[in-house]
Structure 1
Amino acid sequence: MRRLILLRHTKSDWPAGMVDFERPLAARGRRAAPLMGRLLIDRGLVPDRVVVSPAARTVETWALASAGLVQLPPGEQDGRIYEAPAYELANVIRETADEVGTLLLVGHNPGIETLCADLVADGPADQRRRISRKYPTGGLAVIDCAIDTWRDLTPGCGTLVSFTAPRDLDSEAE
C-alpha cells in the first residue's frame, strides 16, 4: 500500500503584466496554506517526500504550509509538474523510490484534478462527487493506492481516504 497526497496550490493572484509562472499567492491563499499544513500534522498525514512545481504559487504554498512544522519535509521542485497533464504527473510519481511510503505532490489544475479522478476507484461517494464538480485551490486529496511500488501506479488503483478544502477549515481561507 502507498499513500498519495495531492495538494493544489492555494489561491493565487494575477498582477497585471505578470507571466503565469511567476504569479504569487493572493492574501486568501497565504491564509489557507498554513491551514493545510496544520491539517497534515493533525491528521497524521506526514509525507516521506514532497514534490513541488517550481511555479511561484506552488513553491509559496508549500513554504507557508510547512513553515515551522519540522515534521514536514522540504519540497523538491520538479519542472515537469508545472502545467503537466495527469499522465505526466503519474510518470513523476512512478519514479519515486520504493522507500517512500507517502508522497505529496503540490501542483496545478487541471492536472491534479484529472490525476485524482483517474486514480480513484473507490472512497466516500460524496467526496468523490465534490472533486468531480470542482477541485478548489488548496484542495487536498488523500489517496491510498493498492500497489507495492510507485512504478505500479495505474488508473483505478486508488481509494479516496479524504478530501479537504481550505473553506472546510476556515470560511475566509479559500
Structure 2
Amino acid sequence: MKTLTLLRHAKSGWDDPVARDFDRPLNARGRRAAVTMGRHVRDLQLRFDAVVASPATRVDETVVEFERGLGRALMPAWDRRLYLAAPTTLLDVVHECGAGAESLLLVGHNPGLEELTLLLVSEDGSALREAVAEKYPTATLAELTFNTDDWATVTAGSGRLTRFIRPRDVDPALGPDGD
C-alpha cells in the first residue's frame, strides 16, 4: 500500500513587487494557513517517507511554515519540474519515487495538483472527489492511497481519495479565500 499526499502551496501575495511569478512570497494569511495545516497533520500523526517540492518561493515558504506547525523538518527534495507542472509531469515524479518510501508528499501548485488528484481517483461520485473537482484551495491537502508496492504502477483511476482537507475545515477563519 502506497500513500500519496498532495499539498498545494499556501496563499501568496500579489502585492509584492517581484519580477517573476516564481519569486512570489506568501502573504500573512498564507503563512497562518500553512502553520495551521502543519499542526493538523501533526495531530493526525501523518508521516512522509519522501517529500518532493517545487523550488518556487511560495512553496519554499509554505514548507517552512508547515514544518513550524508540524514540529519537525520535512527535508524535501527540491524539483524544478514541480513548478506549475502538468499532472503528467507530477505523475512522472511519483513514478520515480523509491520503492522503500511507503508515503510520498508532493508540495506544489494548481491546477496540476487538482488535475492529478482527479486523474488518479476514478469518478465514483464520492463527496471527497466532488469537493476536489469543485475547488482545490491554497494550503489544501489531498491524501490518496494505492493498492500497490511499486510507485511505477500508479495509474489513472487506481487511487482512492482518503482525505481532502482545506484550511477552512481546520480553522473556519481561514476560508473561503477566493483563489
Q: TM-score, normalised by structure 2?
A: 0.91
Say which SS state the counterpart of residue 132 (structure 2) adopts.
Answer: helix
Q: Deviations over 1:29-71 (max 9, x none)?
A: 0000011111222112111111110000011101110126455
Kept in 2: contact 1:15–1:23 (CA 8 A) = no
Q: Which moved more, 1:30-39 or 1:68-77?
A: 68-77
Whichever residue aligns with residue 10 of structure 1, its letter is A
Report the Cα distance in structure 2 between the residues aligned to 1:66 and 1:17, rounded to whole angstroms.
26
Kept in 2: contact 1:93–1:150 (CA 8 A) = yes
Say which SS state the counterpart of residue 67 (structure 1) adopts.
Answer: helix
Q: Deviations over 1:128-150 (max 9, x none)?
A: 11110101111100100122211
Q: Which moved more, 1:163-172 or 1:13-22?
A: 13-22
Unaligned segments of structure 2, at least 5 residues: none
Alignment of 1:114-153 (within 5 A): 114-121=115-122, 125-153=126-154
Identity %, equivalent residues: 43
> Following TM superposition, where does structure 1 have runs of at least 4 consecutive aligned residues deviating by more than 6 angstroms?
none
Distance 1:159 1:124, change over 3 A: farther
Whichever residue aligns with residue 111 of structure 1, its letter is G
- State the partner residue of 1:39: 40
- State the partner residue of 2:96: 95
Distance 1:65 1:128, change over 3 A: same
Q: Deviations over 1:115-167 (max 9, x none)?
A: 00000127781111111010111110010012221111100110010100001
- State the partner residue of 1:61: 62
Aligned length: 174
Kept in 1: contact 2:38–2:69 (CA 8 A) = no
Q: TM-score, normalised by structure 1?
A: 0.94
Report the Cα distance in structure 2 between the residues aligned to 1:62 and 1:25, rounded to whole angstroms.
11
Say which SS state the counterpart of residue 130 (structure 1) adopts.
Answer: helix
